[in-house]
Amino acid sequence: MNAIELARAIPKAELHIHIEGSLEPELIFELAQRNGVVLAYPSVEALRAAYAFTDLQSFLDIYYAGASVLLQPQDFHDMAWAYFLRAKADNVIHTELFFDPQTHTARGVPMATVIEGLSGACKRAESELGISSALILCFLRHLSEEDAFATLEAALPYRGHFIGVGLDSSEVGHPPEKFERVFARCRELGLKLVAHAGEEGPPDYMWQAIDLLKVQRIDHGVAALQDPLLMAELAHTRMPLTVCPLSNLKLCVVDDLRDHPLKKMLDAGLCATVNSDDPAYFGGYMNANFEQTVLALDLSREDVVQLARNSFEASFVSEQRRLEMFDRIAVCAAG
Ligand SMILES: Nc1ncnc2[nH]cnc12
Ligand SMILES: [Zn+2]
């Protein structure tokens, strides 16, 4: 097997996927019809044609509009189930899914609807597809910390359905320090902590995520290359970075995939992983991200194995499961 074939076949974990970002245009139209929601685009083709993004905000505007078709538990289930089928096809065997409750509760959709719909799909994925998963509740950083606290309160009756919290949406102008108190509360509650940082924002936002929010993993983190001290810290602590190459290309964080810093991260000893972010919008699920990155950066088989191992090292699975996954990776790489 060459590096691309190995990348397709190897068992892997996906740790940076916004489940609302897996909503394909066809499903958006199906759910709009089911729920009587009027869309701003006349057809699937017209909607897809609008996916020409210049930066993060230009994407987020369309992404939040797309999520407006989600109203019933069944809608959330169907969206997640469609993702799990894609994950299965790409040999993703574990996934930690982000969801954005404020996008839905602000439209009057109850927290219970969101969490019960997603949780049901997660259980079904385990039993029917053998994919393990966990949910991570993300706070929208363009909203206030007060709103994040209220969202946490509303989610606590469903505490058993999510393992942690994250921070997403418009990064620049909304630094991690804005959410220091709500993350401290989440830490007291025993929740896992992650945050988007260093996607469009500066390395300082990554330092804040580490020092103030005390995250266990950073989402994106491509700005780290601008700060040698930060690179040394990330390597030393093996702080995981959930990197999303096709997202970075589509949102113009890099101009060309050949300029993507992933290979430099691996060579510097960082625990970097490959993920799809919002695959319905960015042109590819896990294996598309792996294939295009392997090609653009001329990644070796060893790099691919390292990325697969990193995905489980970075995940919140038990130590025992992690070791089992390392064995499965080794068997696949030898075969
Ligand atoms: N790439 C991304 N960055 C920040 N917030 C997001 N929400 C969905 N995708 C996102
Ligand atoms: Zn993201």
ipTM of the complex: 0.98
Q: How far is the CA of 284 from the centre of ligand 2 (A)?
A: 14
Q: How far is the CA of 200 from the centre of ligand 1 (A)?
A: 10
Q: Is the CB of 168 under 6 A from ligand 1?
A: yes
- The residue to mutate among 168, 206, 244, having the most atoms of ligand 1 within 8 angstroms of its beta carbon, is 168
The one-letter amino acid code at 51 reads Y
CA distance 310 to 303: 10
Characterize the bridge pairing of strands 241-243 and 272-274.
Answer: parallel
Cα angle 147, 77, 325; round to 5: 95
Q: Is the CB of 21 under 6 A from ligand 1?
A: yes
Residues 143-174 pLDDT 10s: 999 999 999 999 999 999 999 999 999 999 99
Q: How far is the CA of 335 from the centre of ligand 2 (A)?
A: 33
Catalytic site positions: 199
For residue 21, give the nearest of 71, 69, 67, 75 by alpha carbon.
67
Contacts of 300 (CB under 8 A, 6+ apart): 3
Is residue 277 part of an annotated ligand binding site? yes
Q: Is the CB of 277 under 6 A from ligand 1?
A: yes
Nearest CA to ligand 1 atom 6: 169
For residue 156, give the nearest of 125, 195, 123, 190 by alpha carbon.
190
Nearest CA to ligand 1 atom 10: 169
Q: 26: domain range?
A: 3-334
Is residue 278 part of an annotated ligand binding site? yes
- The domain that holds 174 is classified in CATH as 3.20.20.140
Instruction: Supply φ then ψ for residue 199, to 5 degrees.
Output: -90, -65
Q: Are 298 and 266 in contact (CB under 8 A)?
A: no
Would you give per-residue pLDDT tens digits along the chain (335 residues)? 999 999 999 999 999 999 999 999 999 999 999 999 999 999 999 999 999 999 999 999 999 999 999 999 999 999 999 999 999 999 999 999 999 999 999 999 999 999 999 999 999 999 999 999 999 999 999 999 999 999 999 999 999 999 999 999 999 999 999 999 999 999 999 999 999 999 999 999 999 999 999 999 999 999 999 999 999 999 999 999 999 999 999 999 999 999 999 999 999 999 999 999 999 999 999 999 999 999 999 999 999 999 999 999 999 999 999 999 999 999 999 98
Structurally, how many domains does the chain consist of?
A: 1
Looking at all shown ligands, the one closest to residue 19's CA atom is: 1
Q: Is the CB of 192 under 6 A from ligand 1?
A: no
Contacts of 314 (CB under 8 A, 6+ apart): 13, 15, 217, 240, 241, 242, 271, 273
The one-letter amino acid code at 155 reads A
Count CB-CB contacts under 10 A for residue 120. 16
CA distance 315 to 335: 25
Q: Is the CB of 16 under 6 A from ligand 1?
A: no
CB-hemisphere CA count at 13 Å for 261?
22
Is residue 16 part of an annotated ligand binding site? yes
Q: Are 145 and 112 in contact (CB under 8 A)?
A: no
Edge-to-edge strands of the sheet including 241-243? 12-18, 92-99, 132-140, 164-168, 192-197, 217-220, 241-243, 272-274
Question: Could you tell me the pTM of the whole model?
Answer: 0.98
Q: How far is the CA of 157 from the centre of ligand 1 (A)?
A: 26
pLDDT of residue 102: 98
